[in-house]
Structures are given as structure tokens and as C-alpha cells.
Amino acid sequence: MKIDKTASQQQGRTAVGSGERTAGLDRQRLRPGGNLPERYAIRKVEGEQVLVCLEAPNLNVHIDPELSLSASVARKSPPGTIFLDGVAQCEPFMDHERKVYNFDHHEGCVRAFTMATCEQALIMHMKGLDLRGQQWHIFANEPDLDTILAIWILLNHLRLEERDGIQRRTLFALVRLEGVIDALGLEMKELAALPPELLRKLQRLIDFLRADEIALKKDGLWEETDMLQYAVKVLHKLDQVLYKASDFADYKGIEELACVQINQQRLAVAVKSDQGIYEIEPHLNKLYGGRLGVVFLKKGPGAYTVRKMDLFMPVDLQEVYDWLNFIDPAVRCRARNKWGGSGEIGGSPRESGTHLSAQQIVEACRHAMNRPTLLTMAYRFLLVAALTAAIAVSAHEISLTWQPARWLSVKAAGQFWQTPVFGFAAALLVLSVLGLLVAARGRSWQFGLALPCEPSGVWLLPLALVSGAAGGVWAPADAIAKLDGGGIVILAGLVPLAMECLFRGLAHGLLAQSARIQRADGPWFISWPALGSAVLYTGMMTALAFTSLGCCSQPMNSFNLARVVTGSAVFAIVTAMIRERFQSLLPTVLVHAVAVAAALGVNLLLAAFQ
């Protein structure tokens, strides 16, 4: 979030010396470290360093001294946003409908009558602010003690609900005293109305918590301090004061790696923990308020366990596995090295592990769980059809003006590369390859640009050859009859390569980004990408039949037109299925080349009998 830099608005207060004055407080509870777990960490989220608590992985704390937002921008912030102590330049507000809050006592309020930020955070928690079930982003611009206490309360909201698991009275008294000091100044601390002995102990505690801040400011190093690291240190000090080691007997440190909203009610999250999926399941339900749909538990580098938390979700995990297998570069042809399992629990590829990031995994889950609507599929098909038509029309226009000998100022009459047929095929290949390079960047296997898997569906090959020879492939007999043997061989290889790159590579690959396709070891069916690319291929073959580049040597009558349309449709569907089962374009190019040779022979025979 890029915002303007503004001066920090903080209430000055007289520092009370630490050191010897801390000695009177319980040293064991003030000593950093101890036996308490390190629950606070700094991690990178979308390129930005944030502070997280392992017991509240859905809360991300952002601390930036330059953080400042206008009132209008703050109120329009995304749902799940909390501003602390001066970040939003406006009065405190609560937008429960959008779940945007500003805990502040600087702008737009009478400071003497307004509680400090830490008190506002505590009251909101006590009133029932629910921080579970979605991602929350907490923004602060300076980690003074008032702000740190507010952050601690928000990150520890689950433990605050357990009345026996925390020194609640100490926390309440500490927040009250710090709130009075921060809002009104140190000289007004008696307004906290605490007993004298408790007031003295709490003041020593505040001095202990602020010792590093005072020292850094005294040495002129505060502006250079890593605010996130400083916040982690003070938060851990607060843990030492407010918790006992026995409070963490059931501690399960969970680090959230990624989280997405599957639908209005459910989340998909990727987490990391030393515990197993069944051990942390109750704790996850507690953390996310029962809104979990699917959990990916990272067990090691590239190793995940998948658990369907909501058994009544209408989508089976098998659809999630299928999509993960499609996008994961680690999954290719080996039957055992893939995402898989039952409808309730499964895991990542066993042999190599996954090559996907946690964010990519949960995004894939959301994609699989949200099936595309007919309108979405129709829209994508129209876009792919427009791209395919543009490439085909451009290649045809190039063929009409194809005069390479003139362009190169050479005499090469009768050479095969001067013919419009060669010009069309060459242009089609170049444009299709350029489209593939752009569309398939970083995911070439999804477009068939890979070596074939073990044979699967070999029985489709004869059907492809028969349908191709019957009119399903482009074999312009009239033009090829004028070429020499070398020209025919080269052209017969160029045409299949161009057609397959365009239809079974580019068009099929783009359509497959929103629909399921077959795999070598999966069930048999005709996928939407196979059907869609077949429609486009049949359309182009039909259009070519009425041009000078037509594949028939006879006039285009009803019989020949039916032969072209039927043969093209069958050939396109069969080759698309071959491309999916082999997971490669190479087999379809070879089948296409043989079919072109067969069709060429058929056309030449038909021409001889005319």
C-alpha cells in the first residue's frame, strides 16, 4: 500500500528510569526468553514483511513509520482491515458491515475524552469482535507501548477468551494505566484509580517494556530501528509477564502460508506445523471459526497433506487433485508421482514433491472448487476463437501476396517455397508458435510442449488416420501436384506442425485453463477443450475448402463439403484426445503428417479418375 509520509503524531511523556527500579518486580516474570514458545515471527506476504502470531495465522501486522491514510481511503479499505494509533487521519470508527475499524485517539476527537488505542482494542475484544474466519490486516506506523499493547490484544484474542489461561487482571490494569498515560500524560496516571502498590508495580512493568524504546531514542537510533523486530521483542516480553509456561501445555504452533476464500462461507488454507493433520484439526477449527473448507498441511519441502474439512461441500477433492496435477510442473507421466488420495484426505506427489508454492496450491483449490459457468466458458471460447481466426486470416492474407523471389531479388522459378500454399503454411506456423511462446510461458507442459508419456489410447491412432484421409486434414492436391518430391515432403511436414501448434497446442491449451482435461492414467471422456478446439479446427477446414487453398481437387459440392466437415470434426476430437492422453503434441503431429500423406494420395487418385 503506497501512501504519503506524514509526521508521527505521538503524545510525549516523561520517561521514568528503568534499571534499578525494575528490580522490585518479579524478575522471573520479567526475564525475556524462559520456557515460553516463540509465537511471533516475521514473514513475507506478497513481497512485504509482516508480523504474525503462530496462534493467529490469519492476522498480519504491518508496521511502517511512513504509513498514513486519509479518512476517505481508510473507510474504503478492503474488508478485514484495522488501523491503529494515527495511521488513519480521522476519528475512530467502526464499520461492522465492511469489517473496517480505526482504533485511534488523535484526529477528529477530543483527546482528553477519548480512550487510548490499547483500551479501544481491549474493549472491542470484550464486546465480541470476531477475528476468526478471514484474513485480517492490522496497520500501525510506530510501535510505542500503546500500539504494541493493542497488537498483543488482537493477536492473542483466542487466549483472552480462556479466562484461566492468562493474567487477565494484570492485563486490564496495565492497559488502563498505559491508556491514561498515553492519552493524558504521566502526571495524570493517578486517574487510573489503581491501589498505590499495584500502581508502582505496573509503572515498573511499563518501564521494563519501554526500556529498549527509551534507550534507542536517547541514542538517536529509533528512526533506524527495524520496527517489526522491535515489536516482536516487546510482544514476547508481554508474554513473559502475562503467561506461565503451563499455559502452553497444549500449544500448537501453526504458521499460515497462504489463505484464499473458496466461496462466501469457506476458506482454503495452507499451513505449516510440526503436528499431524488430525492433531491440529480441532485447533484449526478454533482459529478459523469453523469456516475451513480445505487444508493443505506442509510436512516438508514440497510435501503436503490435503484434508477436506467440510464433508458436505459439493465438490470432491478429486477435482482439486486433477487441477493440481494439470498445473504442477512436478507431475508429468509417472502414475505414482501425482496429487491424489480419497475424497476426504490426500497428498502431494510422493516421488518428487510439488513444485508449486503455497499460494499457487490454494489458488488451484479455489479454481477447482468454483466450476466455470456456461457464460464464462462461452466467453473464453469466443476469445480463443477470435485469436485463432486472427492467426488464420493473417496467414491467408500473407499467402495471397506471397512472392519471396521478388522480395529476395532471386530467380527461382518453380521452387516449392514460392507457392501460396507454402506461404500460408509457413505463416500459420510462425504466428502459431509466436502465440504459443507468449501463452505457454512458464507452463509449456499445459500446452503440449513436452515429450509424450507412455502410450495410452493407441487404439485412437487408426481412427485419426481414417478420418484424416477421408477429408479431415488439409492436403491441397492441386497445389502439391505442381511441386517436386522434396517440396512435397517438406510441405507435408510443415502443414501438420502448423495445424497442431495452432489447434491442439494454442487453442486447446487456452481452453484448458478453465476446464478439466484427460490424463494418461485417468478416466476416458471428451473434454470441453477437446470439443472446443475441434469446433475451431472444423470451422477453419470448412473455410479453407472454399478458398484457392482448398483441400479438394473437385468442385465443392454437398458431398465434398459433408466429407470435409465430418472428417475434420472426427479427426480434431480424436487428435485432441491423443494429445491429452499422451500429454504432448508430438504424437498428434506425427499422426497428422501420416494423415496428410494418406489424404494426399486419396485426392490425387480422385483427381486421376475425373
Tell me the C-alpha distance between 377 and 531, whole Å. Answer: 12
75-123 residue pLDDT tens? 999 999 999 988 999 999 999 999 999 999 888 888 888 899 999 999 9
Helix, strand or coil, per DSSP, at residue 100: strand
What are phi and psi for residue 203, nearest 5 degrees? -65, -40
> Which pLDDT does position 110 carry in this prediction?
87
pLDDT reading at 32 higher than 70? no
User: Which one is predicted more confidently, 19 or 73?
Assistant: 73
Alpha carbon distances (Å) from 185 to 176, 190, 265: 13, 11, 46
Arithmetic mean of pLDDT, 205-227: 92
583's torsion region: left (phi>0), alpha (psi -120 to 50) or beta?
Answer: left
Reported confidence tier of residue 564, pLDDT bands at 50, 70, 90: confident
Reported confidence tier of residue 27, pLDDT bands at 50, 70, 90: very low
Instruction: Please state, for a pLDDT cut of 70, what percent of the chain lies above it.
Output: 86
> Which pLDDT does position 117 carry in this prediction?
93
> Which pLDDT does position 480 carry in this prediction?
61
pLDDT reading at 394 higher than 90? yes
Reported confidence tier of residue 162, pLDDT bands at 50, 70, 90: confident
pLDDT reading at 21 higher than 70? no
Show Cβ contacts of residue 313 under 8 Å, excluding neighbours closer than 6 positions.
266, 293, 369
Q: Which of 51-55, 125-129, 159-163, 593-597 has the lowest mean pLDDT?
A: 159-163
User: Which one is predicted more confidently, 546 or 267?
Assistant: 267
pLDDT reading at 291 higher than 90? no
Tell me the C-alpha distance between 150 and 488, whole Å. Answer: 78
Helix, strand or coil, per DSSP, at residue 152: helix
> Which pLDDT does position 8 carry in this prediction?
35
Arithmetic mean of pLDDT, 573-600: 90
Reported confidence tier of residue 213, pLDDT bands at 50, 70, 90: very high
Show Cβ contacts of residue 452 under 8 Å, excluding neighbours closer than 6 positions.
582, 583, 584, 586, 587
What are phi and psi for residue 306, nearest 5 degrees? -110, 130
Helix, strand or coil, per DSSP, at residue 136: strand
pLDDT reading at 357 higher than 50? yes
pLDDT reading at 64 higher than 60? yes
User: Which one is predicted more confidently, 250 or 448?
Assistant: 448
pTM, 2 dp:
0.73
Q: What is the mean pLDDT of the chain?
A: 84
pLDDT reading at 11 higher than 70? no
Q: Which stretches of 401-459 are DSSP H helices? A: 404-408, 420-439
pLDDT reading at 20 higher than 70? no
User: Which one is predicted more confidently, 23 or 67?
Assistant: 67
pLDDT reading at 161 higher than 70? yes
Quick one: which of 42, 22, 26 has its CA closest to 34?
Answer: 26
Structural domains of the chain, ranges and CATH numbers in brackets? 31-244 (no CATH), 255-369 (3.10.310), 374-608 (no CATH)
> Which pLDDT does position 521 carry in this prediction?
79
Burial of 385 (0-12, 13-18, 19+ CB in 10 A): middle
- Cβ atoms of 330 and 370 within 8 Å: the answer is no
> Which pLDDT does position 485 carry in this prediction?
63
Question: Dihedral (C-alpha) 114, 116, 118, 120: value to the nearest 10 degrees?
Answer: 10
Helix, strand or coil, per DSSP, at residue 263: coil
Arithmetic mean of pLDDT, 280-309: 88
Reported confidence tier of residue 409, pLDDT bands at 50, 70, 90: low
pLDDT reading at 126 higher than 70? yes
Instruction: Please state, for a pLDDT cut of 90, what percent of the chain lies above it.
Output: 46
Quick one: which of 149, 135, 142, 150 has its CA closest to 68?
Answer: 142
